[in-house]
Structure 1
Amino acid sequence: MYLNPRILGSGERTLVLSHGYGGSQAIWDMMLPHLARRNKVLLFDWDFSSAPDAGEEGEQSCYTFSRFADELVALMDEMKLSGAVYVGHSMAGMVGCIASVKRPDLFAHLVLVGASPRYMNSEDYEGGFDKSDIEAMLGSIALDFRGWAEGFVPLAVGSADPSAVEPLARSFFAMDPRAAHGLARMIFLGDQRGVLDDVAVPCTLVHVSRDFAAPPCVGRYMQARMLAARCAAATMETIDSVGHFPQLVAPDELLGILDLVLGDAHEDADGEETAAAAAALAEEMSSEVPAGGLAEAAPEVQGDIDVAT
């Protein structure tokens, strides 16, 4: 379920950058020159980032959070990584939580960016979406995924800036519509709140102040539940911005938080050393992108949805 793994940069610390629904590893491009200066950075694509055929018509994807977590563990074992700082965006945040419960030795710290264990509101929980909203969204995805994505992407980015919207739109449009629908069902109908009780790895929760998909109240819920259970440390940082993708609209603010997690001072990127590192990284990135693109594997399609509490 993962494609195109590659490691950039060097250093004693390893970062694992994991994208969410509709994204690809390119979502981190604006942050890579800074992160790879002093760290080894693992990037990869989940297989849904470009699935040419999600299976026979009428079938639904068998994606589950647990399967994604197993694939993350397998990838980190394959790369012989341990004690990494994991940065998971959106759905990948909960994937990292589950993986850390399965294999805590692989993770030194979890940075959960716009993560949510439950998107649906209930009497005692505010997730951001009413059940009717989710049902309508899933219906739109099933009926016309591209049409839905054309409206959703600018809203999710929180900006009309083409430099932010267009790259994300391309990765959304690369998804197979049936895979996109199955994955959306997994995410928006799922309930992973119980996982938070078992996370022992220190966590930093990062939320955008005006994010309709994962509002800050979700981060506060996660922090409180983790601290009440097993988590050694759970802090929350709020970025004063709009949208669900701070990598695209507030990269400097997100880098500042990551630098604090990594113990770095957030340095100005104007020096000769930084320029040379950025040039070397650009050359490395261009030489390592697979010639065949992302379309290397299709997801299994069996209709299994992970809604465990």
Structure 2
Amino acid sequence: MGIVEEAHNLRILGSGHRTIVLAHGFGTDQSVWKHLVPHLVEEYRVVLFDNIGAGSTNPDYFDFDRYSTLEGYAYDLLAILEELQIPSCIFVGHSVSAVIGAIASILRPDLFSKLLFISASPRYLNDVDYYGGFEQEELDQLFNAMHANFKAWVSGFAPLAVGGDMDSVAVQEFSRTLFNIRPDIALSVARTIFQSDVRPILSRVTVPCHIIQSTKDLAVPVAVSEYLHTHLGGDSIVEVMPSDGHLPQLSCPEIVIPVLLRHIHHDIAT
């Protein structure tokens, strides 16, 4: 097993002619796709991996400088596609991984036939004529809470992000994968994500994009999905689902999985 496979806990399931790459967001790992994967393996070759820094990865691989920008993750994604010799894929990115996929697609548009964004945001901070959902003071409070008592922060953040009570299976699952992350790594990754602003490069994304969004999402207001649709360089469509939470594929699979499958199977032109 090569270093890329080992570092990212790479798994390949199914044996179809077309390849789907599933990329998870902050605080989770590849297990977040457990409801979707069974619907794909008969028809597609499915690539699952963990972002470096996820609790399921070896923390020794986490380079604080490399992952201080989202480009570090984009280069990881391209390395995975190169390692597996994937000529083209359908890329499904959740949360920050949607943006990571967008960056990678600018560098190598030939490797992506379609991008599916779930709960994606190019910038979390509010700005002039832009509503990202957060003020800097709120983000500073979030970072301070993570630093002061990571376990307590997870207990409060998980139900808010998932959109459910603490007893729900989805909240417990998200809490588990959050707890698995080394606290200093989690704080570094959170800073990188929440302080990022990729709005200037959206026009350079030429691969067709399907933007899928929950009606109610603590981290990403619905207005952000419309902003993406307006500013992406290639063809795009938006679907706002009647789901609650930032991890709808985990918390509302009965709503989200049929939507995802429809977008995976259909091209924007059809």
AA aligned to 2:222 is P
AA aligned to 2:224 is V
8 Å contact 1:7–1:40 — kept in the other structure?
Answer: yes
The reply on whether 1:261 has 2:254 as its aligned counterpart is no
AA aligned to 1:41 is V
Structure 2 counterpart of 1:218, from 213, 224, 235: 224
Within a 5 Å distance, the mapping from 1:61-210 to structure 2 comes to 62-63=66-67, 64-160=69-165, 161-210=167-216
Gaps of 5+ in 2: none
Shift of 1:130: 1.0
CA distance in 2, matches of 1:184, 1:253: 28
AA aligned to 1:171 is T
Shift of 1:253: 2.8
CA distance in 2, matches of 1:182, 1:150: 19
Shift of 1:162: 2.7
8 Å contact 1:54–1:178 — kept in the other structure?
Answer: no
Structure 1 counterpart of 2:244, from 242, 257, 261: 242
CA distance in 2, matches of 1:101, 1:117: 15
Shift of 1:262: 3.0
Distance 1:259 1:34, change over 3 A: same
AA aligned to 2:221 is P
Larger Rg over CA atoms: 1
Cα-to-partner distance string for 1:194-226 (whole Å, 9 max, x where unaligned): 121100000000110000201110010010011
Question: What is the percentage of aligned positions where both structures have the same residue?
Answer: 37
AA aligned to 1:74 is A
Distance 1:144 1:185, change over 3 A: same
Q: What SS does the corresponding residue of 2:10 show, helix, strand or coil?
A: strand
AA aligned to 1:20 is G
Cα-to-partner distance string for 1:238-294 (whole Å, 9 max, x where unaligned): 111211011112223322223222337xxxxxxxxxxxxxxxxxxxxxxxxxxxxxx
CA distance in 2, matches of 1:211, 1:245: 9
Q: What SS does the corresponding residue of 1:128 show, helix, strand or coil?
A: coil
Cα-to-partner distance string for 1:13-50 (whole Å, 9 max, x where unaligned): 21100001100000001111112121111000112112
Q: What SS does the corresponding residue of 2:74 show, helix, strand or coil?
A: helix
Structure 1 runs (4+) deviating above 4 angstroms are: 51-55, 59-62
Distance 1:61 1:154, change over 3 A: farther
CA distance in 1, matches of 2:123, 2:265: 31
Question: How many aligned residue pairs are there?
Answer: 257
CA distance in 2, matches of 1:216, 1:170: 27
CA distance in 1, matches of 2:192, 2:177: 19
Q: What SS does the corresponding residue of 2:140 show, helix, strand or coil?
A: helix
Shift of 1:165: 1.3
Shift of 1:136: 0.7
CA distance in 2, matches of 1:52, 1:178: 14
8 Å contact 1:17–1:44 — kept in the other structure?
Answer: yes
8 Å contact 2:117–2:210 — kept in the other structure?
Answer: yes
TM-score using structure 1 length? 0.79
Shift of 1:147: 1.1
8 Å contact 2:20–2:90 — kept in the other structure?
Answer: yes
8 Å contact 1:61–1:182 — kept in the other structure?
Answer: no
CA distance in 1, matches of 2:59, 2:264: 40
Shift of 1:61: 5.7
1:278 paired residue number: none
Q: Which piece of structure 1 moves more, 45-54 or 68-77? A: 45-54
1:11 paired residue number: 16
TM-score using structure 2 length? 0.90
CA distance in 1, matches of 2:258, 2:127: 34
Shift of 1:10: 1.8
AA aligned to 1:206 is I
CA distance in 2, matches of 1:199, 1:133: 30
8 Å contact 1:100–1:201 — kept in the other structure?
Answer: yes
